[in-house]
Amino acid sequence: TVVGGDGDILAIGGNHFIHAARRNDDINVIIVNNFIYGMTGGQYSPTTPKGAKTTTSPYGHFENPFNIPLLAYAAGASYVTRWSVLHQNELYQALLDMFKVKGFAVVEVLSPCIIYTDRNAMGDAVDLMKIIREKSVVDHTASLSDLDIDFSMKKIILGNFVKRERPVSYG
């Protein structure tokens, strides 16, 4: 099992993530997505929403963020789900289910970060949790291409999106 932040997994470890999913290695990956490099000064990360302000994009981030479920699926993951820290029961069940999967399994966990909210006039971490709670919609049948996250959007889609059987290359 690998546990890391969105920057660890999708930037620094991005090629490892893609190729492990492509091979369908028997690895469980938990991505804690806080939308920023929060522990190193507040730089933008691969999941920072377009327009968000960070220390390295003070006028707004101009790149499109990774859509983690779509990326994981396209690379070949056998199991893909997204929950927030506010959805403890669903997250707990997703983690239990992940450990039963043979192959590359990904659980994205949305976790607010005070470094992100402060620069984007969203209040504190509790305020961001309120935003996530208000905008969260559970839709297990949503199109993966509709799972982009932008806090100006009306909804953030959560759910269990992919569960498929593929041959496992290692493990």
**Tens digit of each residue's pLDDT (9 = 90 or more) over 128-169:** 888 889 999 999 999 999 999 887 778 999 999 999 999 998
What pLDDT, on the 0 to 100 scale, is given for residue 126? Answer: 81
**Residue 116: pLDDT above 90?**
no
Question: Going from the N-terminus, what domains does the chain have, and what CATH number goes with each?
Answer: 2-163 (3.40.50.970)
**Tens digit of each residue's pLDDT (9 = 90 or more) over 92-109:** 999 999 999 999 999 999
What pLDDT, on the 0 to 100 scale, is given for residue 58? Answer: 92
Tokens 């993966």 belong to which residue?
Answer: 144
d(CA 26, CA 5): 20
